[in-house]
Amino acid sequence: MTRKAAIIGGGVIGGGWTARFVLNGWDVAVFDPAPGAEKNVAIMLANARLAVPALSDVPMPPEGRVTFAATMAEALEGAEYVQESVSERLELKHRVYAQMQQANPDVLIGSSTSGFKAGDLQKGAVNPASIIVAHPFTPVYLLPLCEISASPANPPEVIARTVAIARDIGMFPLVMRKEIDAFIGSRFLEAVWREALWMLKDGVATTEEIDDAIRMSFGLRWAQMGLFENYRIAGGEAGMRHFMAQFGPALKWPWTKLTDVPEFNDALVDLVAGQSDAQSGHIPIRDLERQRDQNLVGILRALKDRNVGAGRVLREHDARRAVAFHDAEPSGAPLVMAQMQVLPGWIDYNGHMTESRYYFANSETVDAFLRLIGAGMDYVAAGQSYYSAETHIRHLGEAKLGDRLTCTLQVISADEKRFRSFVQIMKGDECLATVEQLCLHVDMGTGKTCAASPEVWGNLSRIAGAHAVLPVPEGAGRAVGQKRD
């Protein structure tokens, strides 16, 4: 049964939440009476559809359905979870909660607030126990962190439900130990923001120079190791104690102005806005969003390949979604093993998906199949793997930017030491390419073929047996240049 979430507020944050839920198979009802809300949600969904499929190594679930409700009560009907993303005005949030709890007193409400404590949000509520902070970071559909902050009014089961829902849509729920304003991430960003404003005001650096200092140095480090783990490395073999001994005294030096705030006035606004416009005002915001997303996809994919940081969250989300494949009995039909979308970096000078990406699509499909039969990275770490010995690709159609691709795999033949796969790369009902491949099972220590483990061979043989009833696919066994019948 499809699960349903209600999104109250269809701005950048609400639109991002909508995309994350929908692409993880939830139905979503959005309520936002502001003009332009539907257009904004559509933009967020379009951005997400271009980026999110490239992060998944298992088939993504069918998209959920998005509807726009005329009333709050209509949005909440049948919803098991509500994400509130209205403006950061406490009195507005209180009015919204009152309307929601009038329609459904027991529904779980997560707030996207970046600063208010749960206790502040709950004041005057009919059911304060069901209101909790679930603070994301933009773009919500790509960045996994969800800071969950509760008050004493929230029972453990409410916290647990919020954590479970966040995990279900591929997020990393970080439960706050104590209730504080602005939580962890926003407090950190506030410190950096204040210091940046002082450097601008004092003429030390421009907006572009400050951004360059971040993206050319510690910003790259933080993506993989955060703050403390990086400083541990900076301490060398002696570790964190040595680092603290070296740099601890600097805490007393007047390096920063974090305890002071520059006066917020028109001059400061003009300074920041003027430099920002000069830096990137010539680039449309939507282009900047997509540029940001594609860069994030590349960084996240690298982290995922190494099972580090946010990449570990992506792997765990894949593993949870792959359970359905492991639990299901193999059927007499090719397996849907990968879904992806043609991204800007995949396009060649002809405007079509470049040849290397067809091999990438096959690789992603076969890798997903290997994980399915138990021959994933843990199996490789233990010293055994499948090596590709022969590959034959046929190009039958063209893939262009934005096309959504589905890759299926059929096992043509298999024994304890090898299997032959036939992958079809589909755009809807059109087959764009087929890739036939022979993989050999190898002992990595000796470099020679050997029998697969009983567990892996058992899983492979069950699927091969189910596929034995299928006809040999058209094009299987063809040679390069061979004439078609």
Question: Could you read off the pLDDT of 112-138 as tens digits, one per residue?
Answer: 999 999 999 999 999 999 999 999 999
Residue 293: per-residue pLDDT: 86
Residue 323: per-residue pLDDT: 65
Q: Where are the beta strands (DSSP E) in 100-246?
A: 108-111, 131-135, 145-149, 172-175
166 close to 5: Cβ distance less than 8 angstroms: no
What distance in Å separates the CA atoms of residue 101 and residue 103, rounded to the nearest whole number?
Answer: 5
What number does CATH give the domain 186-282? 1.10.1040.10
**Stretch 350-367: mean pLDDT:** 92
**Stretch 65-89: mean pLDDT:** 96
The closest of 59, 123, 65, 71 to 93, measured between CA atoms, is: 123
The closest of 349, 367, 345, 369 to 357, measured between CA atoms, is: 345
Residue 262: per-residue pLDDT: 83
Q: Is the dihedral of CA 343, 344, 348, 349 positive or negative?
A: positive
What distance in Å separates the CA atoms of residue 94 and residue 75, rounded to the nearest whole number?
Answer: 18
Confidence label for 327 from pLDDT (cuts 50, 70 and 90): low
Residue 230: per-residue pLDDT: 85
Rg of the chain in Å (alpha carbons): 26
Distances in Å between the alpha carbon of 348 and those of 344, 352, 403, 430?
A: 9, 6, 14, 21
Query: If 0-12 CB within 10 Å is exposed, 13-18 middle and 19+ buried, where does residue 150 land?
Result: buried
Q: Which residues are paired to 442 by β-bridges? A: 385, 449
Residue 272: per-residue pLDDT: 84
CATH tag for 4-175 (out of 3.40.190.10, 3.40.50.300, 3.40.50.920, 3.40.50.720): 3.40.50.720
Q: Is the pLDDT score of 331 beyond 80?
A: no
Q: Is the pLDDT score of 473 beyond 70?
A: yes
Q: Is the pLDDT score of 480 beyond 80?
A: no
Residue ranges, CATH 1.10.1040.10, the chain: 186-282
What distance in Å separates the CA atoms of residue 297 and residue 253, rounded to the nearest whole number?
Answer: 39
Distances in Å between the alpha carbon of 177 and those of 82, 151, 174, 180, 183?
A: 23, 10, 9, 9, 10
What number does CATH give the domain 328-467? 3.10.129.10
Sequence letter at residue 30: V
Residue ranges, CATH 3.10.129.10, the chain: 328-467
**Stretch 95-108: mean pLDDT:** 94
Q: Is the pLDDT score of 344 beyond 80?
A: no
Residue ranges, CATH 3.40.50.720, the chain: 4-175
Q: Is the pLDDT score of 325 beyond 60?
A: no
In sequence order, the 6+-apart residues with CB closer than 8 A to the CB of 373 are 456, 459, 460, 463
Whole-prediction pTM = 0.77
Residue 201: per-residue pLDDT: 92
Residue 1: per-residue pLDDT: 81
Confidence label for 249 from pLDDT (cuts 50, 70 and 90): confident
